[in-house]
Structure 1
Amino acid sequence: MISVCIATYNGAATISAQLTSIIPQLSPEDEIIISDDRSSDNTIEVIQTLKCPLIRIIQGPAAGSPIPNFENALKAAKGDYIFLSDQDDKWKPQKVQIMMKALEKADCVLSDCSITDSNFNVTHPSFFKCNNTKNGKYYNLLFKNGYIGGSMAFRRCILNRALPFPRHTPMHDLWIGNVAAFFYRMAFISESLSYFRRHGHNTSTSSQKSINPLSTRLSYRFITIRALLRLAFSHPSPKP
């Protein structure tokens, strides 16, 4: 069973395109968990017009941040395989099939994606090349984070270990990616399997040069390293 987890907030203009790209790739046994953080637009109404039985809408934490909103969706997921999805992107038709095949030999997979403008015109065909993304746990932790949630899928064993999110974690996908890389089998897929829309309101900043001061970036790394060490000592022998 696959659980697609989406955190929404005022996504009425974009959520339909994303959902219509996801739904045909799923089976009747799968689910789409949407945690809506009390949108003030008609996001929920747009979702309901699709009349898809796979969709389950739950109330978000109203925390004003995508991190607890995604955590809320992940806690509600029932599937053995988890896919993260942003509300404003779009999946390519073979994404689920290709990533599920990769998960036969890995516990977490990260695929490339094509960066687009708000109208899905491709501005860069490869996020990996634009971001200088590489597979390597120390590289992603210490130098350049490449873990973008909308391109990730993983087994439930990682979800069980990553929840609850540590306090002050910089971003949900950064945390999940590091848990996967340090404690499980991580694989990168060089093929672009989705469209990553950039429009100035995205919650992820992975494809942009960080505007945070050095002190903030070092603080984020310290928080993540400390949380990983705590996880290692509290659960020393993870098993898939």
Structure 2
Amino acid sequence: MHNNQGLSVSVCMATYNGRAFIEAQLDSILPQLTEQDELVVSDNSSTDGTWELLKAYQENDHRIRLFKNERPGVIGNFEYAISKGQNDLIFLSDQDDVWQPNKVSVMKKYFQGHPNITVIVSDLIIVDNDFQTLIPSYQALRHTKPGFWHNLLRSSYIGAGMAFRKELKDLILPIPSDVPMHDMWIGLLADHTKGVVFIPDQLVYYRRHGLNTTEIKTSASKVQQFQWRWKAWRLVRKRLTENKKNT
């Protein structure tokens, strides 16, 4: 097993028209990365100057790797970013959050201390556009706890707080286009195999505003929610079966 310094990090970020807030996120992530780490950004054809800003950052920082994603939607965008991540630990990142300055070091330490755990999810502080606290704990809001069936019924996996080991890529990729959400897919697969650890550290300011792609609380009907869960269960079961045949 690597020593703690030896665990290299790939931060995988999906962007789409995030020019208004992405600088704060980049400035919160890059100082935490070592020389061996990387920030992988997959952009979904932004038209607001996001790509140009990213290019300007890249000119000053060789650790930034930029890709243009062809597959539509947030799931396809994250899938592409993840597929390009090369290092030991994959951290997922939204474009509009801000990380606490110790996020990478805290999560690396948890991975180091738990070699059998493949996914770790931190708590988040939910804030508005001006970083005023709306909800002090995402985990308290969602009654977060590990376990496959619990999270199939009420998913508390949240990509903005999620990091996982590179080995999991073989299981999670490709991500089916009809899963409800990429973080739910990753969490369910990991929980079914090796388990997910939720840590109480609040390591992300999770920004909620009118432009977010994902929502905290769903407005979907009970029938729609049941259909999502049934589909998620079928897709997870199918992938686990395929994986067993290939190993």
Q: Give the TM-score normalised by the residue count of structure 1.
A: 0.93
Q: Which residue of 2 aligns with 1:191?
A: 201
Q: Do the aligned partners of residues 237 and 119 (structure 1) sit closer, same or farther apart at CA in structure 2, a change above 3 Å counting?
A: farther
Distance change (3 Å), C-alpha of 1:238 and 1:139: farther
| CA-CA distance at 1:48 after TM superposition | 2.8
- Secondary structure in 2 aligned to 1:88? coil
Of the three residues 102, 113, 136, the one matched with 1:94 is 102
Q: How does 1:102-181 map to 2 (within 5 A)?
A: 102-104=110-112, 105=114, 106-142=117-153, 144-181=154-191
Provide, for residues 114-148 of structure 1, a one-character-per-residue CA deviation record: whole Å limited to 9, x for no partner. 00001111111111112222222211112x11111
How much does 1:222 deviate?
A: 1.1
CA deviation vs aligned residue, 1:166-211 (integer Å, no higher than 9, x gap): 2311111111111111112311101101100000222222x32x21
> Which residue in 2 is equivalent to 1:75?
83
Correspondence 1:218 to 2:214? no
Paired residues of 1:37 and 1:60 also in contact (CA < 8 A):
yes
DSSP 3-state at the match of 1:34: strand
- Segments of 5+ residues of structure 2 without an aligned counterpart are 1-7
Deviation at 1:238, TM superposition (A): 9.7
> Counterparts of 1:55 and 1:167 in 2: how far apart (Å)?
27
C-alpha separation between the residues in 2 aligned to 1:167 and 1:123? 32
Q: Does 1:58 align with 2:67?
A: yes
- Quote the offset at 1:225 in angstroms: 0.6
| Partner residue, 2:4 | none
Q: How many residues align?
A: 235
Within 2, Cα distance between the matches of 1:224 and 1:9? 25
1:182 aligns with 192
Partner of 1:236: 244
- Per-residue CA deviations over 1:57-76 (Å, capped at 9, x if unaligned) read 1011151x101011111111
CA deviations over 1:11-46 (Å, ceiling 9, x no partner): 001111001100011111111111111101100222
When residues 96 and 223 of structure 1 are mapped into structure 2, their CA distance, relative to the original with a 3 A threshold, is same
3-state DSSP of counterpart to 2:235: helix
Alignment-derived partner of residue 34 in structure 1 = 41
How far 1:54 sits from its partner (Å)? 1.0
2:76–2:177 Cα contact (<8 Å) kept: no
Identity %: 39
Conserved in 2, the CA contact under 8 Å of 1:183 and 1:238?
Answer: no
Cα root mean square deviation, aligned:
1.6
Which AA in structure 2 matches 1:117? D
Give the whole-Å Cα distance in 1 for the aligned partners of 2:209 and 2:236.
32
Contact 2:122 2:200 in 1 (8 A): yes
Describe the shift of the 1:126–1:238 C-alpha distance in structure 2 as closer, same or farther (beyond 3 A).
farther
More helix by share: 2
Distance 2:200 2:147 in 1: 14
Question: What's 1:202 paired with?
Answer: 212
